[in-house]
Amino acid sequence: PLCVGVCFSGDLPRHLVHGVIPIQISVSIAEEYSSFTTPVIESLALDGYPHSESSRSENVCAQPSLPCNWHVEIPILFLLLPSNFNHMNSHHWSQLSEQIQHWLVTIPSDSQHWTWGRDAFWLAFVGACPDFPGGSWLRWDMRIPLEGQFIEQWVE
Q: How many angstroms separate the CA atoms of 78 and 85, rounded?
A: 12
Q: Which amino acid belongs to residue 93?
A: W
Model-level pTM? 0.55
In this predicted structure, what is the pLDDT of residue 121? 95
Q: What is the mean pLDDT of each run of 10 residues along the chain (156 residues)?
A: 64 71 78 80 48 37 38 72 91 94 88 88 94 87 92 92
Q: How many angstroms separate the CA atoms of 51 and 127, rounded?
A: 36
Q: How many angstroms separate the CA atoms of 30 and 144, rounded?
A: 35
48 to each of 42, 71, 73, 74, 135, how far by Cα in Å? 12, 9, 5, 5, 39
DSSP state of 142: T
Q: How many angstroms separate the CA atoms of 62 and 154, rounded?
A: 47
In this predicted structure, what is the pLDDT of residue 72? 52
In this predicted structure, what is the pLDDT of residue 57? 34
